[in-house]
Amino acid sequence: MAQGRSLELFFVDGNPSGMQTAEVFNWTGHVLYFPRTQIVQALARPAARHTGVYVLLGADEAGPRAYVGEGEDIAARIRNHDVAKDFWTHAALITTQANNLHKAHVKYLESRLIEDARRIGRMPLDNANTPARPGLSEAARANMEEFLETLFIVLPALRIDMFEERARPVAEEAAGNACAPVSSWEGAEFHLFAPRVGIEATAKLVEGDFVVNEGSLARGEWVGVESGYTGLYNELVEAGVLRRQGAVMTFAQAYAFASPSAAASVIQGRSASGTLEWKTPEGKTYKEWEAAMLSALPQEDS
């Protein structure tokens, strides 16, 4: 597949002025992301008739759910799903601007997306099985893997994080820790204690993520009001990252959160201010530690 120069992202929200574009060099792709309420406007766009893959996102009575598919005319596939599948509320259609993906390309992409979604386990799939990868030449496989590499950068910008690797193998953590002293940003350690409910957790900064260590304990259920972190808590339970251990949950593997507050909220089972609840071994809050680190940076001459 020919390589291009830019990526277009279209966000359909019912307001033409709300459509945006962004560029990623050395790759040409087209991602059309829309709510189900805007299906007519979205499928009227020329790119919706291209060959590509798509992701349907939503929830049913069991919780969040997704479906990955492919088609030579994605609009026709989405029209079928509008009748046959009730759970989805948003869709992302992934094609190329020049419509130069063919059937074997998209079947490969579909297979790889389903493989990764199931391996990562952040979102249960409505797909009945994982399709086999089609036979492609070595060059075509390399092109598709490059396509996916860029796509996995783009999708989190749309808050589609089901393909984002968040679990941290112990070996990867150890390698990261060996590169920087604990006194720096990288590798800094924190703990969170709530003895009244039997919670004790430790975490560290690894490559910009706030990584809660394997074996850390979290509250056994969500007790706070519904918030953006309620879904994350339930997602981690369903994915097996949080596993029942008596009255509490334990982290079955290290997990990388986007922020200290996201980690603290999951651990506490309620919305929590991570910058105040996480503390260094010396007893400083994350907020105090961060302020001290910032004050130690070289100051520019005014």
Of residues 282 and 1, the one with the higher pLDDT is 282
Structure tokens of 274? 């991570």
Are both 54 and 117 inside the same structural domain? yes
> Within this chain, do residues 135 and 215 fall inside the same structural domain, yes or no?
no
224 burial class (0-12, 13-18, 19+ CB within 10 angstroms)? middle
116 shares a domain with 148 = yes
Which residue from 46, 10, 9 is spatially nearest to 150, judged by alpha carbons? 9
Residue 300 in domain: no
| 33 within some domain | yes
Instruction: Give the span between the Cα atoms of 234 and 241, in whole angstroms.
Output: 10
Distance between first and last Cα of the chain: 52
Residue 283 in this model has a pLDDT that exceeds 90: yes
pLDDT tens across 133-144, in order?
999 899 999 889
Same domain, 141 and 99: yes
108, 130, 158: which is the final residue of a domain?
Answer: 158
Q: Which domain holds residue 231?
A: 167-295
Q: How far apart are CA 15 and CA 157, in angstroms?
A: 20
Residue 220 φ then ψ, to 5°: -75, -10
Residues 128 and 268 in one domain: no
Query: Does one domain contain both 234 and 253?
Result: yes
What is the distance of C-alpha 222 from the center of its chain? 21
Q: Are residues 183 and 71 in the same domain?
A: no
DSSP code of residue 144: H
**Pair 22, 150 in one domain:** yes
Return the percentage of the chain with pLDDT > 90, whole number: 37
The verdict on residue 44 lying in a domain is yes
pLDDT at res. 3: 39
Task: Judge whether 118 lies within some domain.
Answer: yes
Q: Is 16 inside any structural domain?
A: yes
Do 193 and 223 belong to one domain?
yes
DSSP calls for 234-291: HHHHHHTSEEEETTEEEESSEEEESSHHHHHHHHHTS---HHHH-B-TTS-BHHHHHH
| pLDDT at residue 36 in the model | 86
Q: Can you tell me whether residue 190 is helix, strand or coil?
A: strand
Q: What percentage of the chain reaches a pLDDT higher than 70?
A: 81
Residue 149 has pLDDT above 60, yes or no: yes
Domain boundary among 120, 135, 158: 158
Amino acid, res. 34: F
Tokens for 264? 């603290």
Tell me whether residue 222 is in a domain.
yes
Residue 25 is predicted with a pLDDT of 43
Do 236 and 259 fall within a single domain? yes
Average pLDDT, the chain: 81
Least confident residue range of 49-58, 187-196, 247-256, 288-297: 288-297
Instruction: Give yes or no: residues 58 and 201 share one domain.
Output: no
Residue 302 covered by a domain: no
Q: Where a domain ends, among 158, 176, 195? A: 158
Tokens representing 20 are 């945006």
Does position 202 have pLDDT exceeding 90, yes or no? Answer: yes
According to the per-residue pLDDT averaged within each range, which of 2-16, 20-34, 269-283 is highest?
269-283
What total of structural domains would you count in the chain? 2
Query: Which pair of structure tokens corresponds to residue 285?
Result: 């809050």
Is residue 1 domain-resident? no
Indicate if 145 and 79 belong to the same structural domain.
yes
Question: What is the enclosing helix (H) or strand (E) of 231?
Answer: helix 228-239
39 vs 278 pLDDT, higher one: 278
Q: Virtual CA dihedral for 143, 96, 69, 119, nearest 10 degrees?
A: 40
> Mean pLDDT highest for which of 111-125, 174-188, 225-239?
111-125
